[in-house]
Every structure is written in C-alpha cells, then in structure tokens.
Amino acid sequence: MLNLTERQWVKHTVFHVFEGFDDLKWKKQGSVKISFIILALFFFGVIADGRLYGYQFRFPDDKIFNIVPYFVKSVVLFIVWVVGNRAVCSVLDGEGSMKKIWIYCSYALIPYISQLYINVVLSHILVQDEYIFMLIIKIIGTLWTGILLLSAVKAVHGFSLAKTLFAVLLTLAAMFIILFLLILLLSLIQQIYVFVYSVFSEISYRIKV
C-alpha cells in the first residue's frame, strides 16, 4: 500500500489535496533534496515572472536587474514562513519538526510555481484581450497552493481544521514580526558598520600624522 518513489510522493501530495500529506506523514516520507529543487524553481519562477513577461502585458519595472528583491520575495519569505510556523506551532503543541515543516510546505508550493512558469510562457503567446486565461490559471494555482499549505500545516502538526486556521493566522503575524526585526537588525548593523569604519579611519589618520 502506497509504496511510492520520492518523485511519486510529490505527485501524490499535490494531487491528493486533503489526505496526501497525511499519507506522507504516515509513511515517514519526504525528501530534503526535492524541497531544495522546488525552492530553487520558486526563486527562478519569481524572477521569470518579474523579468520575462511578454511586453504586451508589462515592461519590467526598473532598468537595472537587482536580484535581492526577488530573493526576498521567494526564498526569504519561505524561510520566514517556516520559522514562523515552527515558532507558533511549538507553542500550540504541534508535532512537526522544522525539517518536516520545510519539506511539506515546499511540496505545497508546486501549483503556484507551475502557474508562474505557465503564465510566463503564455504571456508570449496571448494578447491583452486574452489575459483572462492567464488570470484563471493564476487564481487556480494560488488557491491550490493555499489549500495545500493549510493541509500541510494540518498534517504535519496533527491539528484540527479550526486550530490550523488559527495557527496560520498566528504564523502570518509572526512573519510580520520576524521581518520587522530583520529590517531593524539590518539598519542597526549598518550603523555599527558606519561607526566602526569612522573610528577606524580616524585612528588611521592619527597614525599617519
């Protein structure tokens, strides 16, 4: 019963929206390697979505390609989600470990990532009047991933549905706090750097004189 390879497990979880992750947990499956591949695909998908769209839909916002915003929008966001979820759910008596949350949530991203690539390709084939098709694909992909994420959180922690929704809300709040602290930390580090640098240059001038 359900003796699947790693790749077949990915397919199983994506297409069995409600019980796929429960099966995954029951069989103690899930591969870190595949989750990293999915994350890389997510990263490149977000870049493609931002830069490679057909010009009949939109032009890239800026002339100079900067990779940092895309990295934040994909990888950093995912890491923050996982960390936030782990933090919140360990308080709520969730069973999931960090590794499991990471793997399950990355599997759940697959419909959204496919939607990104499909739409980038379609944007070079369709014209503005036919945008509705791309919109439908986008909505389906996003909703699918949303439901999969809920079901992943539910399965990995062994929650009821109501508790899962509550946990997700708390996770979103936790993500905001983490991002806020990150920004704070970055600006603080920058100021420390400026301070150290000015002290260093001051001393080096004194030594010269």
Binding site for another protein (CB under 8 A): 54-59, 62-63, 125, 127-128
C-beta of residue 133 within 8 angstroms of C-beta of residue 57: no
Least distance from another protein to the Cβ atom of residue 64, Å: 11
C-beta of residue 30 within 8 angstroms of C-beta of residue 106: no
- In the chain the first and final C-alpha atoms are separated, in Å, by 81
Helix 32-51 and helix 110-122, axial crossing angle in degrees, nearest 10:
30
Nearer of residues 54 and 158 to another protein, judged by Cβ: 54
Supply angle C-alpha 131, 135, 141, rounded to 5: 145
Nearer of residues 15 and 55 to another protein, judged by Cβ: 55
Least distance from another protein to the Cβ atom of residue 61, Å: 9
Least distance from another protein to the Cβ atom of residue 67, Å: 20
Query: Residue 109, Cβ neighbours under 10 Å: how many?
Result: 23
Nearer of residues 53 and 104 to another protein, judged by Cβ: 53
Least distance from another protein to the Cβ atom of residue 122, Å: 13
Nearer of residues 57 and 166 to another protein, judged by Cβ: 57
Supply angle C-alpha 148, 152, 34, rounded to 5: 90
Least distance from another protein to the Cβ atom of residue 38, Å: 26
Q: Report which of 65, 104, 91, 108 is spatially closest to residue 171, judged by C-alpha positions.
A: 91
Nearer of residues 4 and 87 to another protein, judged by Cβ: 4
Least distance from another protein to the Cβ atom of residue 14, Å: 21
Nearer of residues 127 and 194 to another protein, judged by Cβ: 127
Give 73-79 contacts, CB < 8 A, sequence gap 24+. 73/46, 74/39, 74/42, 74/43, 74/45, 74/46, 75/39, 75/42, 75/43, 77/175, 78/39, 78/42, 78/105, 78/106, 78/109
